[in-house]
Amino acid sequence: MPVAVGVRRQEAPGNVNQQMSGGASAPAAGEEHTRGWVHAMGLRVEVRAAAGAESPRLLSRLLEPWAEAEPVGAHAGQGAASGAAPAVDLGMLAETALEAIASTLSTKVTLAALETRCGSHLLFHAGGIADDTGAVVAIIGPSGRGKTTTVRSLARERGYVSDETVAITESGEVLPYRKPLSVITDGHSHKLQIAPSQLGLRPLPAARLHIAGLVLLDRRDDGRAEPSVTQVPLAEALVELVQQTSYLAELPHPLRRIAEVAEATGGVRRLLAGAPDMLSEAIPDLYAPGRCGSWRQVLPLGRGRRGAAREAAAGGCGAAAGREDADLGASGRSAVQTDGAADRLPYAAAPVLDAIECEDGTVVFTEDRQAQLLSGLGPVLWAGLCAGDGWKELEERVVGALGAPPGGEVREALAAACEALAQAGVLVRTGGSPAVEEG
């Protein structure tokens, strides 16, 4: 039995960072704003500028590159939200500052749309491409990783969905965000906002969009020009995806939501991007069938997300994944009830937003928005603590799963591992000291 417990910690962000109707309108008498509209993630976003003699003309210039973001055909009305439309305010417009304001507009529209979709949609910091069937591959990565360059290359062969955010509904639909691409250009201090068609990118297919692949983007560091696509183990992928998902903590069962998408789309892949002009060679591999490793949701018994009752279904790949065993609670034990005080663990599972056990480790998403990847003893200990094991039951669980430790001192190894998890914030101490059997 390995006696080490591994913990890798990553923090989830609260937020990662179209066409106007009939042009910008001059303000009515007494009105303080010039107004226009753009479209983002199925939303009609109002854009306001301070009233001025030049405001309608300048706002029209700012909104012109957004014309191709207006949804048409099967995409019109997709994801329409009730309630007041989100709005952004650009203040007073000036000809000399128009490039800077255009960049600000892109950021503000993105933030307004993300805030509106918060708590209902998976919001990946990603670019997206779509084939003729509407199947969307999300190219996911942090700012500076090369998403716009990658999407700009791939979307000459497939439909351009976004270079910023891929929003996915609970049913797996993708809401397009065909914003202008933000392109670094020599001689300009701000990224230029360029309409997709001006860069030779393809329009959306006629079919409605649905998610078909999750792809983590990396750049090659070995000097090779050709791209490569590889499968990523699910736990490893979840830790990375947590960091690239806006408002993830606001979703119910956030890790399970990602895992369900990964399962439905053949697991998570990694694209190592080389030379931009060779990226199109990777498209068949991005859409190729893949395998999602088995997984299940493992939550503290009787302590669902923020105290709410947990759903019965646990998720997983195939019948053997234990969908009916979401809380490991078949025995009916509470988190601290054991056969006696001496056998009671002085630890309990920390409050969590979600936890998923995968083939390559367990990912725990704590209430402080930290994603922890447990390895070694960690996954077995977490499962035992969630099930309400005492020392004896936990020893049996660990030995059954991993075998006895080299020195034979099972409880000492467990006590050290529990303390390591407590220091990492995955477990909390409930009083007393770790019980160690005397020889």
Calpha distance 361→159 (Å, rounded): 36
- Phi and psi, residue 303, nearest 5°: -130, 70
Q: What is the pLDDT of residue 316?
A: 35
Strands (DSSP E) found in 289-414: 295-297, 347-349, 352-358, 361-366, 370-376
pLDDT, mean of residues 254-272: 97
Domain boundaries, the chain: 33-287, 294-429
User: What span, in angstroms and rounded, lies between the C-alpha atoms of 425 and 395?
Assistant: 22
- Give the pLDDT band (50/70/90) at residue 431: confident
Is the confidence at residue 330, as pLDDT, over 70?
no
- Give the largest Cα separation in the chain, rounded: 90
The answer to whether 308 touches 286, Cβ cutoff 8 Å, is no
Residue 255: strand pairing partners: none
* 122-172 pLDDT tens trace: 999 999 999 999 999 999 999 889 899 999 999 999 999 999 999 999 999
Residue 312 main-chain phi, psi, to 5 deg: -75, -35
DSSP at 350: P
- pLDDT, tens digit, 9 for 90 and up, residues 344-382: 889 999 989 999 999 999 999 999 899 999 999 999 999
H helix runs in 46-122, sequence order: 55-63, 98-117
Do 184 and 230 touch, CB atoms closer than 8 A? no
Span 42-52, pLDDT tens digits: 999 999 999 99
Q: Residue 85: how many CA atoms within 13 Å on its side-chain side?
A: 18
Cα(120)–Cα(273) distance, rounded to whole angstroms? 31
The pLDDT assigned to 204 comes to 96
User: Which band of pLDDT confidence, cut at 50, 70 and 90, is reported for residue 342?
Assistant: low
Please write the tens of the pLDDT for every residue from 15-34.
Answer: 654 333 334 555 555 568 89
Place of tokens 């062969």: 157
Q: How big is the chain by its Cα radius of gyration, in Å?
A: 25
CA dist., res. 347 & res. 396, Å (int): 17
Whether 337 shows a pLDDT value over 60: the answer reads: no
Asked if 59 and 47 touch (Cβ cutoff 8 Å), the reply is yes
Average pLDDT over residues 313-334: 35
Task: Determine what percent of the chain is predicted with pLDDT higher than 70.
Answer: 79
Average model confidence (pLDDT) across the chain: 84
Q: Is the pLDDT of residue 310 over 50?
A: no
Q: How confident is the model at residue 318 (pLDDT cuts 50, 70, 90)?
A: very low
What average pLDDT score do residues 9-13 get?
68
Please check the confidence at residue 426 and state whether its pLDDT lies above 60.
yes
- Between residues 412 and 433, which one has the greater pLDDT? 412
More confident of the two residues 408 and 436: 408
| 73/87 Cα distance (integer angstroms) | 25
Tokens for 234, please give them.
């699910």
Contact 356, 260 (CB under 8 A): no
pLDDT at position 328 is: 38
Report pLDDT for 333.
37
**Phi–psi pair at 421, nearest 5 degrees:** -70, -35
> For residue 320, is pLDDT > 50?
no
- For tokens 């417009």, the residue is 93
Cα atoms in the Cβ-side hemisphere of radius 13 Å centred on 72: 11
Q: Are 270 and 230 in contact (CB under 8 A)?
A: yes
**pTM for this model (two decimals):** 0.84
The pairing of beta strand 352-358 with beta strand 361-366: antiparallel
Express each pLDDT in 80-118 by its tens digit.
665 668 999 999 999 999 999 999 999 999 999 999 999
Would you place residue 314 in the very low, low, confident or very high pLDDT band (cuts 50, 70, 90)? Answer: very low
Q: What is the pLDDT of residue 322?
A: 35
Q: Contact at 8 Å (CB) between 393 and 384?
A: yes
Chain-centroid distance of CA 304 in Å reads: 21
Tell me how far apart the alpha carbons of residues 401 and 392 are, in angstroms, rounded to a whole number: 14
Confidence of residue 439 (pLDDT cuts 50, 70, 90): very low
